[in-house]
Structure 1
Amino acid sequence: MQVDFSRNHFELFGLPIQFDLDSPALEQTYRALQSQVHPDRFANLSQAEQRASMQWSTRINEAYQTLRSPLKRAQYVLQLQGIDALAEQNTSMPGDFLMQQIEWREAIQSARLTADAVALQSLEDELNHGARTLRDGLTRQLDTEHDYPRAAEAVRKLKFMDKLVEEIHDAFEALDS
């Protein structure tokens, strides 16, 4: 068993390099690949073959985790184009989005302080709606228009919105305890 790390994640799963992917095909291929290389199947073989199985299994898991997450998948498509959307030197954001970030953070903080679960849920719904809109835009920007600068900006926005949703989940947990 030879681990071919030169194949990108999409090639590994036999999928076209694009943001919009066939999720059932990804799931089916993942299960098939894992059943072929799972370390338990190689328990009676040499240490080298067991090690290779573990490397393949790890590689398949990493690729799967990247492709099944819309944010990670978008980052990866951009990376294949030589663009690091989250690089430190690549942090510019439109002023209106920066203002929106401040408003969201203040609203989360206020809802947390007042233990307002309804406000937290409303904020989460708003962020999820915005994230869906950005993901829809990524399909167009990455797969059709090949507008990588706009896609990179959308990835940065999504990353921030995901962090805010995590903060909201933390706030919900704090309310429950």
Structure 2
Amino acid sequence: MDLNTDFFCLFQLPRAFRIELAELDARYLEIQARVHPDRFAHAGEGERRLSMQWATRANEGYQTLKTPLERAKYLLHLAGYDLQAESNTAMAPEFLMEQMEWRDAVMEARRGGDHHELEHLHHRLRQDLRGRYEELAVLLDDEQDLEAATELVRRLMFLEKLLLEIDDALASLEDGEMDN
């Protein structure tokens, strides 16, 4: 195996959206145990460098595959699909309206210091995301509809960012409560 091996091959997993995370964890630990730079502390410069490259590659692959959104983006990349996330911001009007409503609700709850409402929004968004990731699994693994999967991944990127904004709002309220 070389350093350019795709992450699914690296961890001996099927190239699919649905993967066993426990298997990924176990394979990651196996690889890290074999290539960790500490094992090569007394080796030659070349071996140390190679172990560092493999450890870095394993870390990068693990981080990519353990996160559903990153795993989906990687699968699309391997299939030759470009998300054009930076340049293509066109979205369906209904989705944009939904985004505006979510953002308004978060901003209002944050401004009002409404911890309960932020928790409620967080819970609702998590449920929404779960359903969309299930839909993504069907598109990628069952139907191989990469066009639709690409569009859904672009939407998920917005929703995951919104979830981070809610988390940030909750954290800032909790920090404010701790200061009082």
Global fold match (TM > 0.5): yes
Give 1:79's aligned residue.
77
Give 1:7's aligned residue.
5
C-alpha distance in 2 between matches for 1:173 and 1:87: 28
Shift of 1:87: 3.3
1:75-110: per-residue Cα shift (whole Å, max 9, x none)? 000001111224334333221111000000100110
C-alpha distance in 2 between matches for 1:34 and 1:155: 30
SS in 1 for 2:16: coil
Distance 1:54 1:77, change over 3 A: same
Q: Does residue 130 of structure 1 match 2:128?
A: yes
**How many residues of Structure 1 are paired with residues of Structure 2 in the alignment?**
175
In structure 1, give the amino acid aligned to 2:5: R
In structure 1, give the amino acid aligned to 2:56: T
C-alpha distance in 2 between matches for 1:94 and 1:150: 13
In structure 1, give the amino acid aligned to 2:71: R
The list of structure 1 runs, each at least 4 consecutive aligned residues, that deviate by more than 6 angstroms after superposition, is none
C-alpha distance in 1 between matches for 2:150 and 2:89: 10
Q: Is the 8 A contact 2:85 2:154 kept in 1?
A: no
C-alpha distance in 2 between matches for 1:93 and 1:146: 22
C-alpha distance in 2 between matches for 1:84 and 1:118: 39
Give 2:40's aligned residue.
42
Alignment partner for residue 57 of structure 1, among 55, 58, 61? Answer: 55
Distance 1:87 1:165, change over 3 A: closer
C-alpha distance in 2 between matches for 1:167 and 1:158: 14
TM-score (norm 1): 0.95
Alignment partner for residue 164 of structure 1, among 162, 165, 177? Answer: 162
TM-score (norm 2): 0.93
Q: Does residue 24 of structure 1 match 2:18?
A: no
Shift of 1:118: 1.2
Consecutive unaligned residues of structure 1, counting only runs of 5 or more, are none
Consecutive unaligned residues of structure 2, counting only runs of 5 or more, are none
Identity, in percent, stands at: 45
Q: Does residue 142 of structure 1 match 2:140?
A: yes
C-alpha distance in 1 between matches for 2:53 and 2:82: 26
C-alpha distance in 1 between matches for 2:34 and 2:7: 17
In structure 2, give the amino acid aligned to 1:98: L
1:8-65: per-residue Cα shift (whole Å, max 9, x none)? 0000011111100011111110000000000000001001110100000000000000
